[in-house]
Amino acid sequence: MFALCDCNNFYASAERLFRPELNGKPVVVLSNNDGCVIARSEEAKACGIKMGDPEFLVRDLIKKFDIHVFSSNYVLYGDMSERVMHNLGRWFPRLDVYSIDEAFGWLGGVGDLENYTPKIRNSVIRNTGIPVSIGVAPTKTLAKLANKLSKKAGGVMVLDTDEKISAAVRDFPVHDLWGVGRQYYKKFEELNISTVGALREMPEMWFKQHMTVMGQRMWNELWGRPAIPLDAVRDVKKGITVSRSFRNYIEHPDILAEALTLYASRLAEKLRAEKLRCLYLQVFLYTNKNREDHPQHFPSHTHKLLIASNNTTDLVSIAVRVSAMLFKYGVKYRKAGVIASGLVPEAELQLSAFTPHDNGKKDLVSGVLDKLNLAYGRGTLRMATEGFEKNWRLKHEYLSKSYTTRWADIIKVV
C-alpha cells in the first residue's frame, strides 16, 4: 500500500502557524518578486482568488475581503517542509519526498490502516503545526486520488478494498487524475470520458494505443496493480538553473554583473552540494515582453569550459564576462539567469593536455566559502563583484520573518 501525504495550502499554513490570529481568515502567498498568487488558504479560495492570478489583477479583491498577503519566504517553507518530512519518515518504512509539500510513503506490512493513518496525520499536525492530508491506496496513482478526496473527508482516505476503490473513482473527474495533462485530457474529452470510473473501463489495448507505455501503466495503477515504484520519477539531473527577476530594470552592465555574480555563486554552491561539475555554462538575459514600448532583447550564450568546474571563482568570472558580452546599452533587462549543463560527477575530472590546472586551490577556496556560509548564514562570505547595495534584488514587500532559522527573528512572547 502507498500513502500520499500532502500539506494543505502549505505556504499559507506555514505563515499562519506563526500568526495564529490569521486562522480562519483569507491568506495568500505571492511568488518571487511578488508577481502571482502561488498559495491560498481555504478562505482566500472562497473569495474567488485563483492560483496564478497576477497580484495587480486581484488587488481589488484583496482590499475588498481584507485578505492578508505574504511574499514567499522560502527560508521558512524549506525548514517547515523538512520538519514535516522528518516527522512523516518516522511512520513509514520508506518515504519518497516528491515535492516541498508532498511525500509518498510505503506502507508495506502495516495492518489496520484505518486506525494507523489518522495517527500519522494527528502526530504530524501536532508536532509541526502544519495540517496534512493522507490518501492511502494500493498504487501511487490511486493514493494521489485518495489524497484529493481526503481533503473533503476529514484529512484521511483509505482505499484498501476493491469496493472502496470503485466507489472513489466512479465520479472522480478525469482532469484531476495524476499523469493527465492537457493533451490526454483533450483526447478523453473527444471520447466523452469525464470520470476516472469510465476511463478505467476502457480496455488495456486502448490505453496502450493512445497513451503508449505510460497509458498501460496508468491502466494497471487504476486497477490497483502497482506499476510505478516508490522512487521511479527521479531522473538524473541534466542541468541546474539559477534565474531570478530583478526588482527594477537593469540598464547598466556593472549592476548586471552584480546580479550574475550572485546567481553564478548560488549555482556553484548547488553544483557542489550535488557533487557535480559542469562543462557548459549558459547565461541568458530577458527584457519584459509585456512592454511593447520597450526595446526587446533576449540574448543567451553558452560558454564551454576547458575543464569541468564547480568552483565559485571560475563560474562567476565566466558569467560576468558573458553577461558583459550580451549586454546592450539602452535596453531594460528584467530577468537573468545561469544554467549549468554537461554535468559530470566531481570525482571524474578530465584534465586538458594543453592548459595548466590549479583548481585544487580554487576548490579549496570554495570549500571554505561553503563552510563559512553554512556556519554563519548564507552570504557571509561572497564575491565582491556582488556589490553591496543590491537594489536589483527581489521585491518582497510582505515578507514574514525567518522564525525558525534566524535568532534575530524568533518570536517574542509576553
Partner 1 sequence: MIRSFEKRAEQKISGFQSPAADYLEGRLDLAEKLVIDPHSTFYFQMQGTAMLSYGIADADLLVIDRSLKAHHGSIVIAFISGSFSCRLFLEENGSYLLSNDRGSICETEMGMLQVWGVVTSVCRNVLPKTLRRGRYSDVCTL
Give the interface with partner 1 as residue ranges (CB under 8 A): 20-21, 82-83, 86-87, 123, 126-129, 371, 374-377, 403-404, 406-407, 410-414
Q: Specify the residue, 87 or 323, whose C-beta has the smaller distance to partner 1.
A: 87
How far apart are CB 90 and partner 1 at their closest, in Å?
9
Q: Specify the residue, 304 or 412, whose C-beta has the smaller distance to partner 1.
A: 412
Q: Specify the residue, 81 or 359, whose C-beta has the smaller distance to partner 1.
A: 81
Radius of gyration of the chain (CA): 24
How far apart are CB 103 and partner 1 at their closest, in Å?
14
How far apart are CB 412 and partner 1 at their closest, in Å?
4
**Using the 8-state DSSP alphabet, how is residue 81 labeled?**
H
Q: Specify the residue, 54 or 379, whose C-beta has the smaller distance to partner 1.
A: 379
What whole-number distance in Å separates Cα of residue 207 and Cα of residue 222?
A: 12
Q: Specify the residue, 81 or 141, whose C-beta has the smaller distance to partner 1.
A: 81
Please tell me whether residue 259 adopts helix, strand or coil conformation.
helix
Q: Specify the residue, 123 or 341, whose C-beta has the smaller distance to partner 1.
A: 123
Phi, psi (degrees; rounded to nearest 5) at 156: -135, 135
- Reference 351, options 282, 314, 317, 305; nearest CA is 305
For the stretch 21-25, contacts whose Cβ atoms lie closer than 8 Å and that sit 24 or more positions apart, written own/partner, are: 22/68, 25/66, 25/67, 25/68
What whole-number distance in Å separates Cα of residue 414 and Cα of residue 247?
A: 37
Q: Specify the residue, 205 or 372, whose C-beta has the smaller distance to partner 1.
A: 372
- Between the alpha carbon of residue 122 and those of residues 96, 268, 292, 324, the distances in Å are 20, 40, 53, 55
Q: Specify the residue, 347 or 413, whose C-beta has the smaller distance to partner 1.
A: 413
What whole-number distance in Å separates Cα of residue 319 and Cα of residue 124?
A: 43
Q: Specify the residue, 127 or 161, whose C-beta has the smaller distance to partner 1.
A: 127
How far apart are CB 272 and partner 1 at their closest, in Å?
15
Q: Is the four-CA dihedral 109, 113, 116, 120 of positive or negative sign? A: positive
Q: Are 124 and 103 in contact (CB under 8 A)?
A: no
Supply the DSSP string of 261-296, one letter for each residue.
Answer: HHHHHHHHHHHHHTTEEEEEEEEEEEE-TT-TTSPP
Q: Specify the residue, 130 or 316, whose C-beta has the smaller distance to partner 1.
A: 130
Q: Quickly count: other Cβ atoms within 10 Å of residue 242's Cβ.
A: 20
What whole-number distance in Å separates Cα of residue 10 and Cα of residue 6?
A: 8
- Reference 251, options 319, 326, 321, 329; nearest CA is 329
**Chain centroid to CA 285: how far?**
22
What whole-number distance in Å separates Cα of residue 143 and Cα of residue 51?
A: 23
How far apart are CB 130 and partner 1 at their closest, in Å?
10
What whole-number distance in Å separates Cα of residue 335 and Cα of residue 393?
A: 11
How far apart are CB 367 and partner 1 at their closest, in Å?
11
Phi, psi (degrees; rounded to nearest 5) at 99: -155, -175
What is the grid cell recorded at 235? 531522473
How far apart are CB 129 and partner 1 at their closest, in Å?
6
What whole-number distance in Å separates Cα of residue 397 and Cα of residue 153?
A: 37
Q: Specify the residue, 384 or 414, whose C-beta has the smaller distance to partner 1.
A: 414
